[in-house]
Amino acid sequence: MAFEKYDFTPLSQSIHQGLIENVSPLLTTIIEWTIIGVLYLLFIALFGLLLVYAERKVCAAFQQRLGPMRVGPWGLLQTIADFVKLLMKELITPNRVDKFLYNLAPFIVIIVPFLTISVIPFAPGLQALDFDIGIFFVTAVSSVGVIGVLLAGWASNNKYSLIGGMRSGAQIVSYELSVGLSLITMVVLAGTMQVSEIVELQRGGWFLFKGHIPAIIAFVVFVVAGTAETNRGPFDLAEAESELTAGFHTEYSGIKFAFFFLAEYINLFIVSAMATIVFLGGWMPFHFGGFEAFNTIMDFIPGLIWFFMKVFGVIFLIMWFKWTFPRLRIDQILTLEWKYLLPINLFNILLMATIVLLGWHW
């Protein structure tokens, strides 16, 4: 099949062999870590810039206007200009903040997406860490982000930041349940938590189609809970400008604010990447039943391109949510989770388990 030549495993194996033959094993490991780290840093920086630009353009299109057009052709340099401005701003530390916690919070918030991104398979053979419990690792590590938010709210010595941080913390902790449970629904269907195995199992068809009704319910719940996790979309009460004067990151300026800002967009990428891996087949092409000609055409597109197309699709869906719906109050946000999403999730797991046991799926 044409799809096999897009495999990245020979490339990574040849790099590994070349290093092992020439330098000691310890140095090989260190060099490999450095290469992976630098690649991920570059990827996150570029992707963050791209997502900020894409959000402004997509937002403008939904509002029947044009978005940034002046800075560079079609406004492409707008995000770079924004980041240069943020880098040059003065870092004002307010009067009686808790200095250590105040400075630590942006770092926690930006390191968490770095950790999560290491288990994402971008293409066959292009995955940094392949745990047996990959899905569990993702949910566990993304929970650490709450600490950053709560620290930022508390350490700012500002009652509005504290309220914003508490609200945001409550929201993130609540919606983690829904994210975890909907991922568990798909783990029940797959039978394994290993991320590369989950993608492999979708070779015959994406999980969204294989596990029909419960998978669709789980997908909707996952996308809604994912946008609430990242404090985005209609759930952005904690950080909206017209609410608590920017909530938990009010007292941060310059590069520290840039960390919070960037972390939000990388979290958006991570939520979309998890959605595509678990529901939409990761880097698997779109095959349709018995149409062999169609399948061979689909095979010509490399796995990397498939992955990014699907991720952009889910990101577009999440942005669509943000620019359509009005903001929810904090009590409405928590009601939605505890009274609606959680019971639906639990019932859905039961349904999926029944279907898997009875074999009523493809």
Partner 1 sequence: MKSFLNYIAEVFNAIWTLLTGMKVTAKYFFTPWKNVTQQYPENRDTLKMFERFRGEVVMTHNEKNEHSCTGCGICEINCPNGSIEIISKTIVTEEGKKKKALDQHIYNLGMCTFCNLCIKNCPTGAIVMAQTFEHAVWDRTKLVKVLNKPGSLVMQDVKE
- What angle do the packed helices 212-229 and 342-358 form, to 10 degrees? 150
Q: Taking contact as CB under 8 A, which single stretch among the options 18-26, 55-63, 143-151, 191-199 is the one that binds partner 1?
A: 55-63
Over the range 18-41, which residues count as b (16 or more CB within 10 Å of their CB) and which as e? Answer: ebeeeeeeeebeeeeeeeeeeebe
Q: In whole angstroms, what is the distance from residue 205 CA to residue 38 CA?
A: 34
Give 300-303 contacts, CB < 8 A, sequence gap 24+.
Answer: 300/2, 302/6, 302/123, 303/3, 303/6, 303/123, 303/124
Q: Taking contact as CB under 8 A, which single stretch among the options 28-36, 54-62, 246-254, 270-278 is the one that binds partner 1?
A: 54-62
Q: Minimal distance in Å, beta carbon 113 to partner 1?
A: 27
Q: Is 36 in the site for partner 1 (CB under 8 A)?
A: no
What is the DSSP secondary structure assignment for residue 341, as one 8-state letter?
I
Q: In whole angstroms, what is the distance from residue 226 CA to residue 119 CA?
A: 18
Among 34, 63, 335, 354, the residue binding partner 1 under the rule CB under 8 A is 63
Among 21, 25, 64, 358, the residue binding partner 1 under the rule CB under 8 A is 64
Q: Minimal distance in Å, beta carbon 228 to partner 1?
A: 14
Q: Is 340 in the site for partner 1 (CB under 8 A)?
A: yes
For 269, the 3-state DSSP assignment is: helix
- What angle do the packed helices 134-142 and 159-190 form, to 10 degrees? 170
Q: In whole angstroms, what is the distance from residue 75 CA to residue 82 CA?
A: 12
Q: Minimal distance in Å, beta carbon 287 to partner 1?
A: 27
Q: Taking contact as CB under 8 A, which single stretch among the options 56-64, 72-80, 110-118, 188-196 is the one that binds partner 1?
A: 56-64
Q: Minimal distance in Å, beta carbon 332 to partner 1?
A: 12
Per the structure block, which two tokens stand in for 338?
Answer: 């505890």
Q: Taking contact as CB under 8 A, which single stretch among the options 145-153, 246-254, 320-328, 348-356 is the one that binds partner 1?
A: 320-328
Phi then psi for 81, rounded to 5 degrees?
-60, -40
Q: Minimal distance in Å, beta carbon 123 to partner 1?
A: 30
Q: Is 61 in the site for partner 1 (CB under 8 A)?
A: yes
Among 69, 77, 115, 163, the residue binding partner 1 under the rule CB under 8 A is 69
Helix-strand-coil split of the chain, %, nearest 5: 70, 0, 30
Per the structure block, which two tokens stand in for 219?
Answer: 């997908």
Q: Is 347 in the site for partner 1 (CB under 8 A)?
A: no
Q: What is the largest CA-CA distance in the chain?
A: 68
Q: 8 vs 323, which CB is nearer to partner 1?
A: 323
Q: Taking contact as CB under 8 A, which single stretch among the options 13-21, 58-66, 86-94, 136-144 is the one that binds partner 1?
A: 58-66
Q: 142 vs 185, which CB is nearer to partner 1?
A: 185
Q: Minimal distance in Å, beta carbon 63 to partner 1?
A: 7
Q: Taking contact as CB under 8 A, which single stretch among the options 96-104, 173-181, 307-315, 322-330 is the one that binds partner 1?
A: 322-330
Q: Is 291 in the site for partner 1 (CB under 8 A)?
A: no
Per the structure block, which two tokens stand in for 41?
Answer: 């840093």
Query: Which positions touch partner 1 (CB under 8 A)?
Result: 58, 61-66, 69, 320-321, 323-325, 340, 344
